[in-house]
Homo-oligomer: A and B are copies of this chain.
Amino acid sequence: MKVGFIGLGAMGSAMASNLLKAGHSVTVWNRSPEATAPLASLGAKVASTPQRAAQGEALFSMLSNDQAVREVVLDSGLLEEMDKGTVHVNHATVSVALARELASAHAQRGLDYVAAPVFGRPDVAAAGRLNIVVAGKPAVLERVRPLLEAMGSAIWPMGEEAERANVVKIAGNFMLGAAIESMAEASALTRAHGVSAGDFLHVMTSTLFAAPPYQGYAKLIAEQRFKPAGFALPLGYKDINLALSAADATRVPLPFASVLRDSLLETLALGDEDVDWSALAMVAARRAGLKD
């Protein structure tokens, strides 16, 4: 099929390349054009504006946050120039508020819209093994399903309203943050009793918590290796604030998210933004007066 793809960070590039490998014709665009070269070498056409990429069966976008989506999708005039036959599949992790605004903006212009946030790091994206949470009209979802299947190992439909997919992504990221904080606090406790974070977390992630995210973050905490960041602290802070905003709009108290917010803020106040969000463990240890 003929599709467009805008937003070629580590995630978007990996995803677009899987579309190419699956034999689709992909036109790509990125704000900084350097990122288009590797995809061009795989056969992608390069567009000079997002509008020119918005053609064919579907336009995929993988932009980094609310602001980027607002600028590229809503404020640029992109929707005005899109063909009514092109489905916009938005993979970005955006706020519930923007999810609603996007759904409404597409509907007003008679455009089909699918919210499709993903779980998975760039290596998972490269392997075509993302978990893609989707929301949109069932018939529209069916049209883009083969394309999504080129990028992900599982597609999780959550209903029609776009925000449903986005809130699942937001709530999932909150659960990840909570898992990290629980390891941070628990290992501060064992360290204070003479058991290293490595010994403790090895037991836990070999037994009850033998799941990849626990195992990955446990390794970083045990080794106190917070750089380079796999998932940078400011992004984690942004995600927890997305959860708190969604909670605010629907009046859902989230005491764990409030603790996470304060702990991430304290970690940020240490002055180093380039750390992984598992640096929460540094703060938990510091509060207990533990030396590195």
List A residues at the B interface (Cβ < 8 Å): 96, 119, 131, 133, 154, 156, 158-159, 161, 163-164, 167-168, 170-172, 174-176, 178-179, 181-183, 185-190, 192-195, 199-200, 203-204, 206-214, 241, 243, 246-248, 250-259, 261-263, 265-266, 268-271, 284, 287-289
Establish whether residues A259 and B259, one from each chain, have CB atoms under 8 Å apart when the complex forms.
yes
Establish whether residues A254 and B211, one from each chain, have CB atoms under 8 Å apart when the complex forms.
no
Q: Which of B168, B186, B206 contacts A171 (CB 8 A)?
A: B186
A19 shortest CB reach to chain B, Å: 22
Cα(A249)–Cα(B271), bound, Å: 13
Contacts of A161 in B (CB 8 A): 194
Cα(A161)–Cα(B258), bound, Å: 30
A119 shortest CB reach to chain B, Å: 6
Given A208-B212, A211-B208, A288-B269, decide whether A252 and B188 contact each other with a Cβ distance below 8 A.
yes
Copies of this polypeptide in the complex = 4
Given A189-B174, A250-B288, A269-B288, decide whether A181 and B211 contact each other with a Cβ distance below 8 A.
no
Cα(A248)–Cα(B178), bound, Å: 20
Indicate the member of A183, A250, A268 with the most B CB atoms within 10 Å.
Answer: A250
Cα(A167)–Cα(B211), bound, Å: 22
Given contacts A163-B194, A179-B209, A251-B268, 5 further A-B contacts (CB under 8 A): A131-B208, A174-B182, A189-B252, A255-B263, A258-B261
Given A178-B182, A203-B131, A258-B258, decide whether A210 and B211 contact each other with a Cβ distance below 8 A.
yes
Contacts of A178 in B (CB 8 A): 178-179, 181-182, 185, 256
Establish whether residues A259 and B255, one from each chain, have CB atoms under 8 Å apart when the complex forms.
yes
Q: Which residue of B lies closest to A205 (CB)?
A: B211
Given A119-B207, A186-B172, A263-B255, decide whether A193 and B288 contact each other with a Cβ distance below 8 A.
no
Cα(A203)–Cα(B268), bound, Å: 30
Establish whether residues B131 and A207, one from each chain, have CB atoms under 8 Å apart when the complex forms.
yes
Establish whether residues A251 and B269, one from each chain, have CB atoms under 8 Å apart when the complex forms.
yes
A108 shortest CB reach to chain B, Å: 21
